[in-house]
Amino acid sequence: AQSVAQPEDQVNVAEGNPLTVKCTYSVSGNPYLFWYVQYPNRGLQFLLKYITGDNLVKGSYGFEAEFNKSQTSFHLKKPSALVSDSALYFCAVRPPGSSNTGKLIFGQGTTLQVKP
């Protein structure tokens, strides 16, 4: 079965420090991977995606993610965290063979808390 795991319910980091939010996936073949962020009582905002090519993907608001095929991981990173980065982060996968469909499989989400 296809699945996405975010092993940490919450990540705490001090402002100015680097942050990492972890994501691993389990799908057959080459997946399309996405990161979204959700602020309270809001919908999801797209941050970045990996489709093919360079394993390091850069996205919005200074975020980047590293695709690691051997470890089936797609961790979200940022060199210097801001208090305003505090939110709920979701990793998602679009299964292989569904390149243009709207179906996404989401992880459970990780709450990022950045303290001043």
Partner 1 sequence: KAGVTQTPRYLIKTRGQQVTLSCSPISGHRSVSWYQQTPGQGLQFLFEYFSETQRNKGNFPGRFSGRQFSNSRSEMNVSTLELGDSALYLCASSPGTGVVGTEAFFGQGTRLTVV
Using CB under 8 A, list all residues that contact partner 1: 32, 34, 36, 41-46, 49, 51-52, 90, 94, 98-109
Is the CB of 36 or the CB of 81 nearer to partner 1?
36
- Least separation in angstroms between CB 49 and partner 1: 6
Q: What residue type is assigned to position 34 of the chain?
A: F
Provide the minimum distance between the beta carbon of 87 and partner 1 in the complex, in angstroms, as a whole number. 14
- Closest to partner 1 by CB, 2 or 72: 2
Is the separation of the CB atoms in 26 and 2 below 8 Å? yes
Indicate if the alpha-carbon torsion angle 104, 66, 70, 90 is positive or negative: negative
Instruction: Name the residue nearer to partner 1 (CB basis): 29 or 102.
Output: 102
In this complex, which beta carbon is closest to partner 1, that of residue 22 or of residue 49?
49
CB neighbourhood size of 34 (10 A): 24
Query: In the bound complex, what is the minimum distance in angstroms from residue 106's beta carbon to partner 1?
Result: 4
Q: Are 104 and 98 in contact (CB under 8 A)?
A: no
Rounded Cα–Cα distance for residues 36 and 52 (Å): 18
Q: How far is the CB of 17 from partner 1 (least distance, A)?
A: 27
Calpha distance 31→50 (Å, rounded)? 8
